[in-house]
Amino acid sequence: MDLVSIDELDEHWPQNDRDCLEYFYRYRTFCQLYVHILLQKIFESKQRRYENLLNRKSRFLMLINYINLLVLVKNKIFMRMMILNCTVAL
């Protein structure tokens, strides 16, 4: 099928060879640009979701570390009190 014969199916298609070729390349370029822009938007969206997930995960890990630190401090204070009670009892 020639580019010129597309005119039979699509009324917007040019009728001479040179215009058909130009129209084809322009159409193909626009399609490729559209796909590129679309893929870029999808990538940016996924990247933002991933960054948000990492931020939430890091905040969660910071909270866990803080709780662990509080537990360690509490245990250390408890151990010091036990040692003090043992020495006072002696």
pLDDT in tens, 1-35: 577 788 788 888 888 888 888 988 998 899 888 88
Question: How many distinct structural domains can be found in the chain?
Answer: 1
In this predicted model, what pLDDT tens digit does every residue of 33-87 receive, in sequence order?
888 888 888 888 888 887 877 777 777 777 777 777 777 777 777 666 666 665 5
**C-alpha separations of 49 from 3, 5, 38, 41, 62 in Å:** 44, 47, 17, 12, 20
Give the integer Cα–Cα distance in Å for 55 and 61.
Answer: 10
Whole-angstrom distance between the N-terminal and C-terminal Cα of the chain? Answer: 104
Domain that holds residue 10: 4-89
pTM of the model: 0.47
The tokens describing 31, both together, are 């399609």
Q: Which stretch of DSSP H or E encloses residue 32?
A: helix 17-89
